[in-house]
Amino acid sequence: MMRSELLARLEAETMWDILIIGGGATGLGVALDAASRGYKTLLLEQDDFCKGTSSRSTKLIHGGVRYLAQGNVRLVSDALHERGLLLKNAPDLVHPLPMVIPVYRSWQVPYYLTGLNLYDLLAGGLRIGWSRFLSKSATMQRVPGLSEDGLRGGILFHDAQFDDARLGIRLASAAAAQGALVLNHFRVESFIKSSGQVTGVEARDRFSRREFTLRARGVVNATGIFSDTVRKLDSADSPDLIAFSQGSHVVLDRGFLPSETAVLIPRTDDGRVLFAIPWNGKVLAGTTDLPVPSPELEPSPMQEEIEFILSHLGRLLARQPQTKDVLSMFAGLRPLVKARGGVATSALSRDHVVLVSDSGLVSTIGGKWTTYRKMAEDTVDRVVGVAGLEGRACTTESLSLEQTEDARGLAGGLERGAVDGNAETNSEICGLPAADVLKAVHAEWACTVEDVLSRRTRTLLLDARKAIEMAPRVAELMAAELSMGPDWVSEQVESFRDIAKRYLPSD
């Protein structure tokens, strides 16, 4: 899958049924839904797939126990249904995750168990397991890193965990397998209209700087935190509908929580929940909720957020984590549908909204990773009506997202060193198989070192120093595959270092 071939296909097509702007969870979900219904589908992402919020989540596929406490039963029950579907349809990327809420006072046992039993009931037949009380010794056995100070026991419940950017790439592959053309590093700059109706977009290829005029019957705005920006390209006086809330995470060595069970702190000092989760051999902890004024593709965690997370972990764990222990840290911005009046961002709805502008632009706003499939279904239903396309039923509830035969074959070939002209496929870069880099380039749309080290592999999020160390060799390997010279290698390494430094606390 060379980029030149993708661009040739783009040029050959004169009219798309559905054009999607934005390649995060929402846009990729819409692309898969639309293509699997048989619509001629194009998706354009300005940077890399999942570069925005969709690679910066807490990696939970969950109903959201906290939304239950807020009384949003429908949101929780819909999300639990989607959790069950994902466990069935993408079993290699989404797996059950046991969690414990540590208990320090006896009244907490009936309080949490009642809520969590309702949570289990709402999951119906797609329930993972029943919640129950664990004695102090059973809690310590499951979660050995906890401090025993004041601990009375724990409440065990179940949710699911995933790798967000990897699921994003899988959605892109599945959409492509259904006939969609999905392109990253391709920015939509303006709309084209006829009689006031959107009939396509002007978009630019980041690498060649070439501009393309692309026509479509229906256009979807799935740009997350940039939804208002794109709505203003359509109509300059569109009102702002999104509020931005930053959530940060820290990644620590597994020694701080040597367990396959996650821990949920049910009430932080600012009244939220905080997770400490085993993830890819490390501990991922977060998140925070900090209102910010504007959208940002590469937000940085604030020092105060890191201190907040570390201090809450310190109250819970036997070993107190310090700033120097942080292997990586990352922030994401939540696109929250604005409420009227001065409501805190933590209280704004995680539900989604599908809007149609006077020009026929369909915008999907809000939601969460867990519910991407339902958001996509609602969006495609809407755009089909607006664009006057023939109605066809959604099939994604039962569509398998397991790796396609083609991708498996290519990966196997790369592992065996079977790609023409490549002598290095069996080598490793600091533990990363070179075959994974080649697969990222040839089968997963990776164009930059950051694409590979941040989202095809998750090295940047797991250990930023190690990612910086690996960058030169990854760049050289990619350059050989992409026929790039030494200038490209230096430029890639330098720009990756600039980004990676933001994943480390300042000294």
Ligand X SMILES: Cc1cc2nc3c(=O)[nH]c(=O)nc-3n(C[C@H](O)[C@H](O)[C@H](O)COP(=O)(O)OP(=O)(O)OC[C@H]3O[C@@H](n4cnc5c(N)ncnc54)[C@H](O)[C@@H]3O)c2cc1C
**380 lies in the site for ligand X, by CB under 6 A:** no
For residue 94, the Cα-to-chain-centroid distance in whole angstroms is 13
**Phi and psi, residue 187, nearest 5°:** -100, 135
d(CA 201, CA 216): 8
Residue 306 C-beta: closest distance to ligand X, Å:
14
Residue 60 C-beta: closest distance to ligand X, Å:
4
> What Rg do the C-alpha atoms of the chain give, in angstroms?
23
Q: Could you tell me which stretch among 6-14, 17-25, 320-328, 465-473 binds ligand X (CB under 6 A)? A: 17-25
Residue 342 C-beta: closest distance to ligand X, Å:
21
Site string for ligand X, 475-504 (x = CB under 6 A): ------------------------------
Say if CB 287 and CB 248 are below 8 A apart.
yes
Residue 228 C-beta: closest distance to ligand X, Å:
11
d(CA 489, CA 476): 6
Q: Could you tell me which stretch among 24-32, 407-415, 432-440, 493-501 binds ligand X (CB under 6 A)? A: 24-32
**468 lies in the site for ligand X, by CB under 6 A:** no
Which amino acid appears at position 341 of this protein?
G
Say if CB 171 and CB 375 are below 8 A apart.
no
**26 lies in the site for ligand X, by CB under 6 A:** yes
Residue among 36, 41, 53, 72 that touches ligand X (CB under 6 A): 53
> Among residues 122, 169, 78, which one has the least CA distance to residue 397?
78
**459 lies in the site for ligand X, by CB under 6 A:** no
CA separation (Å) from 465 to 1, 23, 299, 496?
Answer: 31, 28, 19, 12
Residue 354 C-beta: closest distance to ligand X, Å:
12
- Residues with Cβ within 8 Å of residue 492, at least 6 apart in sequence: 448, 449, 471, 475, 478, 479
Residue among 7, 17, 32, 52 that touches ligand X (CB under 6 A): 52
Residue among 7, 18, 20, 21 that touches ligand X (CB under 6 A): 21
Say if CB 257 and CB 282 are below 8 A apart.
no
**363 lies in the site for ligand X, by CB under 6 A:** no
**367 lies in the site for ligand X, by CB under 6 A:** yes
Residue 284 C-beta: closest distance to ligand X, Å:
10
d(CA 308, CA 406): 45
**278 lies in the site for ligand X, by CB under 6 A:** no
- Residues with Cβ within 8 Å of residue 145, at least 6 apart in sequence: 255, 256, 257, 258, 259, 317, 318, 319
Residue among 17, 18, 23, 451 that touches ligand X (CB under 6 A): 23
Q: Which of residues 201-260 bind ligand X (CB under 6 A)?
A: 222-226, 230, 247
Site string for ligand X, 163-202 (x = CB under 6 A): ------------------------xx--------------
DSSP 262-322: EEEES--TTS--EEEEEETTEEEEE---EEESS--SS----HHHHHHHHHHHHHHBSS---
**60 lies in the site for ligand X, by CB under 6 A:** yes
Residue among 19, 24, 33, 382 that touches ligand X (CB under 6 A): 24
Assign 3-class secondary structure to 47-108: CCCCCCHHHCCCCEECCCHHHHHCCCHHHHHHHHHHHHHHHHHCCCCEEEEEEEEEECCCCH
**261 lies in the site for ligand X, by CB under 6 A:** no
Q: In 370-448, where does DSSP find H-type helix?
A: 372-387, 405-415, 434-443
Say if CB 44 and CB 220 are below 8 A apart.
no
Which residue lies nearer to ligand X by CB, 44 or 432? Answer: 44
Number of residues that bind ligand X (CB under 6 A): 39
Structure tokens at 81: 């249904």
**57 lies in the site for ligand X, by CB under 6 A:** yes
**58 lies in the site for ligand X, by CB under 6 A:** yes
Which amino acid appears at position 100 of this protein?
V
Site string for ligand X, 289-308 (x = CB under 6 A): --------x-----------
Which residue lies nearer to ligand X by CB, 233 or 429? Answer: 233
**10 lies in the site for ligand X, by CB under 6 A:** no
Residue among 30, 333, 447, 470 that touches ligand X (CB under 6 A): 333
**448 lies in the site for ligand X, by CB under 6 A:** no
Residues interacting with ligand X, by CB under 6 A?
A: 21-27, 44-47, 50-54, 56-60, 187-188, 222-226, 230, 247, 287, 297, 332-334, 367-370
